[in-house]
Structure 1
């Protein structure tokens, strides 16, 4: 397997995005264009939500399509994210489904009208599709909550920490591809420093003991966490080894993205096999409950504005200082 492909699996859990090609279907002539062969997560999510609303209304594809003057095959392609849907037809479907939540309908319309273009677009030839989808999701999320137990969360990593993480797992990686990935990771971090994305991280103490980076790199990484904690919208907690909490119900790290409305929350699960995005509201609620449980037993957040005497209570800053002393 080429090194370039192997590093995609290590760094992004995904193969490179396939070329944007289309194909014409006989049963889809009313669209007048080729069908998508590689839809984005946003496009797939729109189709998932429209199908969920249709099923909740108890309508068949044919019956629902008739309400919006669509052919059944056309609606099938919309639900499968193979083609777009005009605003008027989306609103007609929502009305037929009995969806009375204007914020939800407006959010679905916005998803359908989004171009998907952003700073990440220039990386289409060097990044996996899931990584590009993640960048787009971060750019549109209302807030983000991350649980990590082996690594520092990606949005909080220093360049040298990223480099050590990737090169340690793939020492023969192509240098140009490696540099491109590091550049992409650092661009993603602008959502914290420029866009002001509200970000809450619970990091297990184990992540700060991992020795795939040198003590000097880890020390600077910890210092970077403290600096980022100064941002008003960033909240960082350390979950210590001694915390009275059962092992994670979900054994993999995960990130919770709050959508424009509660129904559109998304879980990003860091694992290498199945698609990493979870859109089912009940599953989002399960991950959210787990995050809240971890946060409740984690140490108080890093807060440099507290009076010195208030740090007498064991908190995340105190543990971090102890760890740095022992590096």
Structure 2
């Protein structure tokens, strides 16, 4: 049986492109036939593209992909390659003269690990589209390649983040899925509140961001973390929603982020959640979709760090579990 993932939502594919030398990459969530979309930005340090058009008052109703990428603001260039891939295949918003693919994007800051002079570009974005399929790799892949968490003390307290996904199908056949890139300032916790990956000591003992914050940190410690974090996610459903409902779905999904990451939505994070609705099935009550979206996003976040692997001397959760 296939592991539940966002691609169990009808009309959704996922592709990764990875640069293991530079420790960066791109993950694209493709909806070539179009999906109604919304977005909710909660973090204090976001870096995004094409999020204004997702406002329910604006004209365009559907998007054709969402790009999640490393490389900080440099990495937004990856979306150009996704636009090219879609355009070549005739997908996009019909403006009469041509079709314009609509591709929102969000980035994480991963320049502090691997190489800071190489970041995702249009070629890598295109490659992620070519690789898109229904099987979704998790962990240190795609946009999660250089992801880290627990950076309250800079990279000296960090552990590995990554990509995670999960989904749930309701009794009426509607599926809700999530895909997330976890690159948080805070710790990732399970449904019992136990830290799975987060701030640690030099001997790899988990101490937790909350403990370090309460104990007092130097201004330099915070300076090392400013703008170097962000958890970015896509939640998707095959229910029929309008843009206002998709926006509310993204907002409710943020509750899952706050459950699984502590603290969340900090001044140093750019936490952004996109919501997609492919419109295959009649929608159940929005409160149901939102509640499930929060649950699957929280599960995907934990899976992201559980699947991550050590790189550049930064340990992963699986290393601590085996020590």
TM range (shorter): under 0.3
Structure with more helix by fraction = 1
- Based on CA coordinates, which of the two structures has the bigger radius of gyration? 1
TM-score, normalising length from structure 2? 0.25
TM-score, normalising length from structure 1? 0.25
Q: With CA pairs under 8 Å and 6+ residues apart, which has the higher RCO, 1 or 2?
A: 2
